[in-house]
Structure 1
Amino acid sequence: MSKIFESINDPKVVQYLMNGKVGIIPTDTLYGVVCRASDPNSCEKLYKLKSRDKKPGTIIASSIDQLISLGLKARYLKVVEHFWPGPVSVEIPNSIVQLTQGTGKAAFRVINDQYISILLSNTGPLLTSSANIPGEPPANNLKEAMDYFGDKVDFYVDGGDLSYREPSTVVRIVDDVVEVIRQGAVKIDESGRIIE
């Protein structure tokens, strides 16, 4: 039976993640299925749970330094650091096998949420994927997440209703040009500038 936590900063949430568990938490945008990005076995469990073949998730971190420690090249991060912290996920080439699903790339985001930052400072970066099943909308609350996943995840963190939030904006950098893949919580124009 899945454990339910009332707070993202319950020490047991850190313990579960450090022990290779997969859970659902409120992120800085929507509810996400999460595991430690540095744990290949947990990443494999998450991808199987989400039926994500050749479709990498998003890695969230509390800082650029965490992403460099994970293995990202600083030169890629220099081009996109002006988007962070905030709800902009940037597709970046990398060779971290458990994250890329064989595509050679994954999306990364430095979050702007003090509570999740505390969690990330204890766990390191987390691999995330929206809390839904293929073809269905993302869960907006704990009940919807539990309806989708039941006891298939190890734990849940109740973050209340998140229906007022938007997903992250997703961009990729091609030849130093920002290409918007999905407009979301932050609007970005063709030149790569954030629209106020």
Structure 2
Amino acid sequence: MRRKGSRAVKDSDPESVPLAVRSLGKGEFIVAPTDTIYGILADALNYNSVAGLKRLRRPSGRPFIVLIPDLSWVAKLGLEARKENLKLLSLPGITVVFRKKTGLYHWLGVDSLAVRYPRRGFIYRLLKRYGKPLVAPSANPEGLPPARDVGEAMGYFGDAVSLYVDGGRIEGTPSTIIKAEEKLEVIRRGSLSPDNLRRLLRLQSPFPD
């Protein structure tokens, strides 16, 4: 049962994106389907929102993945990215870790930042409308399984989240994470098989188990 103080809406509802934009703009948290699994989202450029989400979701303090509305945000976030490595962001379900070259948005990460560029679904529409990056950890407290539907997410977060966007049950896999510095390194395999990932990225290095 949804607790008093939060709201749920279907992702197909025409009001879902405007409601999400309104909540995010007020510094609130929302749960919504991303291009991989359900995420708990906040405005990445809002220090207080990100700090609050860390207290709620990730007390260990490890950095969050950041979803960007377009590739121009790689430079705007102060990231050091080779042109050929930017192409990795066009691959579905791929998160790329770039080294930071400035102290901009230090609350997102000190030395590096993991970013992804979703190109489909509700999260794509939301990012285009909101126009700013979002932090997007999976919708679960650290150490617990990711929520597969909004009911599970409500059980985790209750009215600490202002809006739950219902995209049905999602049995997805978290994104593949690739560190792109002097060489490419697979940090998390995600949904892509080792063979497919080697084929796409022409990697020769061994993969993590």
1:77 Cα offset (Å):
5.3
After superposing on structure 2, the runs of 4+ consecutive aligned residues of structure 1 that deviate more than 6 Å are none
Show the 5 A alignment for 1:10-159: 10-69=17-76, 71-73=77-79, 75-76=80-81, 78-85=83-90, 86-94=92-100, 95=103, 96-100=105-109, 103-123=110-130, 124-159=132-167
Task: Specify the alignment match of 1:181 in structure 2.
Answer: 187
**Structure 1 66/173 Cα, relative in aligned 2: closer, same or farther at 3 Å?**
closer
**Contact 2:97/2:114 (<8 A) preserved:** yes
Q: Greater CA deviation, 123-132 or 9-18?
A: 9-18
Partner AA of 1:99 in structure 2 = L
TM-score by length of 1: 0.86
Secondary structure of the 2:198 match is: coil
Partner AA of 1:98 in structure 2 = W
Q: Greater CA deviation, 179-188 or 138-147?
A: 179-188
Hey, what's the Cα distance between the residues in 2 that align with 1:167 and 1:51? 16
**Contact 1:180/1:190 (<8 A) preserved:** no
The alignment covers a number of residue pairs equal to: 188
**Contact 1:26/1:159 (<8 A) preserved:** yes
Structure 1 residue 6 and structure 2 residue 4: aligned? no
Please give the per-residue CA displacement for 1:136-181, whole angstroms capped at 9, x wherever unaligned: 1111111111111111222211111101x21100110242x11101
Hey, what's the Cα distance between the residues in 2 that align with 1:77 and 1:172? 12
**Contact 1:170/1:180 (<8 A) preserved:** yes
Structure 1 unpaired stretches of 5+: none
Secondary structure of the 2:135 match is: strand
Give the counterpart of 1:166 among 173, 181, 184. Answer: 173
Secondary structure of the 1:25 match is: strand
Partner AA of 1:42 in structure 2 = S
Please give the per-residue CA displacement for 1:88-122, whole angstroms capped at 9, x wherever unaligned: 1111222321211xx42221001121432221122
Structure 2 unpaired stretches of 5+: 204-209
Q: Percent identity?
A: 30
1:190 Cα offset (Å):
9.3
**Structure 1 44/190 Cα, relative in aligned 2: closer, same or farther at 3 Å?**
farther
- Give the superposed CA RMSD: 2.1
**Structure 1 82/119 Cα, relative in aligned 2: closer, same or farther at 3 Å?**
same
